[in-house]
Structure 1
Amino acid sequence: VFSSVTSVLNMSVFKDQFVLEDLIQELKKNITALSFGHLQSNGFISVQGPFPAIKLLKDFLLLKAKSLSEKDKRVENKTHQRPKRRLQQQRLSMETNNFIPDPDGEKQVVVLDTDIYHYMKHFFFQKFLVNYDVVISDITDGEITTVYLENARSRSGAGQVLRVKEEIENKSIKLHNSLRKERIYLEGHTGDEKQKYKQACETVKSHYPYVLIIPYDTHIDIIGNSSEIFEFTDEVSR
């Protein structure tokens, strides 16, 4: 088991789009479990931390690169030289252009694996809403979900958003090590057969309160502890 991983990132691929120092600062804010070295002149930087946090970093950068690629496809290249854009002008989605993490902790962003996000939203987010005066919103893009945290009332309880962000990050790392997903495929089954599978999942779930069921038209996702998931799917298939 690897308790810590060290990676070397080549950030030069973002140099035409971002001020690299700003991008590194955003990474530090969003993934606090990682330690970043000094940014070299060639764009290389060393990063150290637990493997799940390294994976979150990879997912975050892939999502960032994807958002740039999609935006560039929509924008005509009127000049041969593209000016550098500050981070606050280059959000992950057009819908979040006005959501900028701030140093006072009033607004924060967390990038999560979508399966882990679904599990946390179902079992843990209500606790955050009850214990803290925060508003939680999200945008899902395939396997990545970006979670936006904001104080429910302006200047009320400074630091609450940062605490919620830290709790979400710490919980996501633990869940990353323990959660597994199984998928029951429904393609090729009749409507009645699909309904029977969904009803069977709901019936079996009463014995597994910490298993999450997400039904879709073509399949059913089952997320939970690895041993419980195995037993759950075995009972459903009987």
Structure 2
Amino acid sequence: VFISVSSLLNMSVFKDHFDLEDLIQELKKNITALSFGHLQSNGHISVEGPFPAIQLLKDFLLLKAKSLSEKDKREENKSHQRPKRRVQQQRLSVETSNSIPDADGGKQVVVLDTDVYHYMKHFFFRKLLANYDVVISDFIDGEITTVYLGNARSRSGAEQVLRVKEEIENQSVKLHNSLRKERICFEGHMGDEKQKYKQACQTVKSHYPAVLVIPYDTHIDIIGNSSSIFEFTREVRR
């Protein structure tokens, strides 16, 4: 089992398209599970973190390189060069899967802690999306979830997608600092006891509207602020 993995990245391939320092800062913000070293003059930088986060970083950069390659081909066909765009403007938009309509090029990606994502999906996304013509899809990989944002219809502008991304990022920072998780494991418990715990969670849930309960075959995850989930778990285990 890989608890932590170290890697050396060569970011020089992006230097003609982005300010590398800005690109690194954006990666730090989006993939918080990783620890980045000092960016060297040759574009190399060391990265350390859990294996799923390293995999996500690799896939993320490959998508970015692919999108730049396709962009260069389009520019060659037009026989002119477009000015370089800094990472703050592009905000690491990537070519994503066909699950997001490519109405007018407005695509964005956000990387979240999976627990934060589940909580936001349950309590935040429906209200947020009611105000925008934007669709969301996700890819859950262990502790990290990649959220893809795109235009729901052709009339929806890319600025709406960017606005939704910014709201998700702002909300996720607040939740990341406040949310905690308790887990009730079923290991060693019989079927009747498992059902008793699930029913108890449903009963107690009505008293804690801001707590998210996620039942699995092997355990139950309880997500919320520290005081709420402490009281919630104590009542369930009575």
Q: TM-score range by the shorter chain?
A: 0.5 to 0.7
The yes-or-no answer on 1:13 pairing with 2:8 is yes
Tell me which residue corresponds to 2:75.
none
Tell me which residue corresponds to 1:172.
172
In the TM superposition, 1:55-70 aligns within 5 A as 63-65=56-58, 67=59
CA RMSD, 1 decimal: 3.9
Tell me which residue corresponds to 2:72.
none
Q: Mean alpha-carbon deviation: is it higher for 161-170 or for 21-30? A: 21-30
Compute the displacement of 1:191 (Å): 1.0
Compute the displacement of 1:89 (Å): 8.1
Partner Cα separation in structure 1 for residue 43 and residue 99 of structure 2: 27
Compute the displacement of 1:154 (Å): 1.9
Tell me which residue corresponds to 1:203.
203
Normalised to the residue count of structure 2, the TM-score between the two structures is 0.68
The answer to whether the Cα contact below 8 Å between 1:105 and 1:160 also exists between their aligned partners in 2 is no
Tell me which residue corresponds to 1:137.
137
The number of aligned residues is 193
Deviations 1:40-91 (A, max 9, x none): 423357xxxxxxxxx9xx98655224x49xx9xxxxxxxxxxxxx924389x
Partner Cα separation in structure 1 for residue 105 and residue 168 of structure 2: 15
Tell me which residue corresponds to 1:151.
151
Tell me which residue corresponds to 1:162.
162
Partner Cα separation in structure 1 for residue 203 and residue 209 of structure 2: 11
Cα gap change, 1:59 to 1:169, in 2 (>3 Å): farther
Tell me which residue corresponds to 2:225.
225
Partner Cα separation in structure 2 for residue 185 and residue 109 of structure 1: 33
Partner Cα separation in structure 2 for residue 232 and residue 166 of structure 1: 32
Partner Cα separation in structure 2 for residue 176 and residue 231 of structure 1: 20
Structure 1 gap segments, 5+ residues each:
1-10, 46-54, 72-84
Cα gap change, 1:105 to 1:225, in 2 (>3 Å): farther
Q: Secondary structure at the match of 2:158?
A: coil
Tell me which residue corresponds to 1:191.
191
Cα gap change, 1:59 to 1:171, in 2 (>3 Å): farther
Cα gap change, 1:204 to 1:12, in 2 (>3 Å): closer
Deviations 1:9-59 (A, max 9, x none): xx982328x824358566666748x9xxx96423357xxxxxxxxx9xx98
Percent identity between matched residues is: 68
Structure 2 gap segments, 5+ residues each:
1-5, 33-37, 70-94
